[in-house]
């Protein structure tokens, strides 16, 4: 999407979509899934297409060094507004960069990151390959690639929940839809994205759903109060569990795919530190991970 397109959508996207129950649950669930794979702070995280920072600012709050890259000046303005409301220590851990994701490597001057996030971006691109290439390129050896995008296998869910039966029938064979922001979006499959990652030296580790029951309630018109902390925590706990289990994760409209870049071979000169975290974790690290998880939950108002 162009910068002009996002200029008209920045407020709706940053304030309404992420401020809703579904938006907060999405942020919480994605972070809990990420923390199963990330090394501990202060590891460097690159958020490509990071918008107003809803996904990466909680990581900065938890101690990670965050670079947020987005092509839209309007979205970066929203990010700056949100960043100014955060503690100074958190602000100092965030760098904002205006650039297209397809040019990420050049925009960050070849820096390699312990984790590269790309959440809710691929669906706006006609072809995913150039951006996936950049995600994998910007990841350090042993680092994590995290992609959240629309699930091509569940495109009939939304029109069916909205009782648009003709559209639902057509969606079984569709590859895209008009998203909730009124913008055409393309969907992917876990298998296809996993193959793209694998061909670029990133091994798929795990895939998850993101939301399910919240989606059904939202489209049914049920009233959900985003300020009801007790209800929000209960919903988030259920959605997190459903995101890991079949058949529930298979019914989620978006999916979250996590992969790890191959470590440096001894025979190959490597210019970046191996940051792999998929090794047995000592008790001290597990305690640390729980503290990080709590910090993230507080940052997105789910506790």
Of the chain, the percentage scoring pLDDT greater than 70 comes to 81
Q: What is the mean pLDDT of residues 282-298?
A: 52
93: left (phi over 0), alpha (psi -120 to 50) or beta: alpha
Whose tokens are 């079949």? That residue is: 246
Q: What is the pLDDT of residues 14-64, one digit of tens each?
A: 665 677 898 899 999 999 999 999 999 999 999 999 999 999 999 999 999
2 band by pLDDT with thresholds 50, 70 and 90: very low
- Tell me the C-alpha distance between 143 and 286, whole Å: 19
Q: Tell me: cis bond preceding 247? Omega within 30 of 0 counts.
A: yes
Token pair, residue 112, equals 């390699």
Phi and psi at residue 249, to the nearest 5°: -65, -30
In terms of residue numbers, what domain contains 28? 3-299
Q: What is the mean pLDDT of residues 120-145?
A: 97
Task: Please tell me the predicted confidence (pLDDT) of residue 156.
Answer: 96
- Tell me the C-alpha distance between 202 and 189, whole Å: 17
Question: Could you tell me the CATH number of the domain that includes residue 151?
Answer: 3.40.50.150
Q: What is the mean pLDDT of residues 114-137?
A: 97
> Domain tally for the chain?
1
Whose tokens are 């055409």? That residue is: 184
Task: Please tell me the predicted confidence (pLDDT) of residue 183.
Answer: 78
Task: Please tell me the predicted confidence (pLDDT) of residue 182.
Answer: 73
Token pair, residue 6, equals 């996002």
Which residues on adjacent β-strands are paired with residue 26? none
Q: Evaluate if residue 281 carries a pLDDT over 50.
A: no
269 band by pLDDT with thresholds 50, 70 and 90: very low
Q: What is the mean pLDDT of residues 2-15?
A: 57
Q: What is the pLDDT of residues 214-249, one digit of tens each?
A: 988 887 778 888 889 999 999 999 999 999 999 999
Phi and psi at residue 209, to the nearest 5°: -80, 175
88 band by pLDDT with thresholds 50, 70 and 90: very high
Task: Please tell me the predicted confidence (pLDDT) of residue 97.
Answer: 98
Lowest mean pLDDT among 11-20, 56-65, 182-191, 265-274: 265-274
Torsion angle defined by CA atoms of residues 201, 204, 210 and 213, in that order, rounded to the nearest 10 degrees:
150
How confident is the prediction for the chain on average, in pLDDT? 87
283: left (phi over 0), alpha (psi -120 to 50) or beta: alpha
Q: What is the mean pLDDT of residues 159-183?
A: 89
Task: Please tell me the predicted confidence (pLDDT) of residue 179.
Answer: 72
Contact yes or no for 210/255 (Cβ under 8 A): yes
Q: Evaluate if residue 291 carries a pLDDT over 80.
A: no
Lowest mean pLDDT among 101-110, 212-221, 262-271: 262-271
Whose tokens are 């297209």? That residue is: 100
Residues near 236 by beta carbon (within 8 Å), at least 6 away in sequence: 24, 25, 28, 29, 302
Give exposure, 74-113, as e/b (b: 16+ Cβ within 10 Å).
bbbebbeebbeebeeebeebbebbeebbbebbebbeeebb
């Amino acid at each position: 999407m162009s910068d002009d397109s996002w200029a008209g959508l920045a407020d709706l996207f940053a304030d309404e979509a992420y401020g809703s129950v579904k938006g907060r649950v999405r942020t919480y669930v994605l972070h809990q899934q990420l923390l199963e794979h990330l090394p501990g702070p202060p590891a460097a995280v690159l958020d490509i297409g990071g918008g107003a920072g809803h996904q990466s600012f909680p990581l900065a709050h938890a101690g990670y060094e965050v670079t947020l890259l987005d092509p839209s000046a309007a979205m970066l303005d929203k990010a700056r507004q949100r960043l100014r409301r955060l503690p100074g220590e958190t602000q100092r851990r965030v760098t904002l960069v205006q650039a297209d994701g397809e040019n990420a490597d050049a925009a960050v001057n070849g820096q390699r990151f312990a984790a590269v996030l790309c959440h809710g971006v691929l669906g706006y691109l006609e072809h995913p390959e150039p951006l996936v290439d950049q995600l994998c390129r910007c990841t350090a050896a042993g680092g994590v690639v995290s992609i959240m995008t629309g699930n091509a296998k569940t495109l009939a869910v939304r029109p069916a929940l909205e009782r648009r039966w003709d559209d639902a029938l057509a969606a079984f064979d569709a590859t895209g839809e008009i998203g909730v922001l009124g913008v055409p979006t393309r969907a992917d499959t876990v298998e296809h994205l996993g193959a793209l990652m694998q061909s670029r030296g990133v091994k798929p580790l795990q895939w998850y759903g993101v939301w399910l029951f919240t989606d059904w309630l939202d489209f049914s018109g049920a009233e959900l109060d985003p300020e009801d902390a007790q209800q929000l925590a209960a919903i988030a706990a259920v959605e997190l569990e459903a995101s890991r289990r079949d058949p529930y994760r298979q019914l989620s409209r978006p999916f979250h795919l996590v992969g790890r870049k191959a470590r440096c071979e001894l025979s190959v000169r490597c210019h970046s530190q191996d940051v792999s975290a998929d090794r047995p974790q000592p008790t001290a690290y597990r305690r640390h991970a729980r503290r990080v998880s709590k910090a993230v939950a507080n940052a997105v108002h789910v506790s």
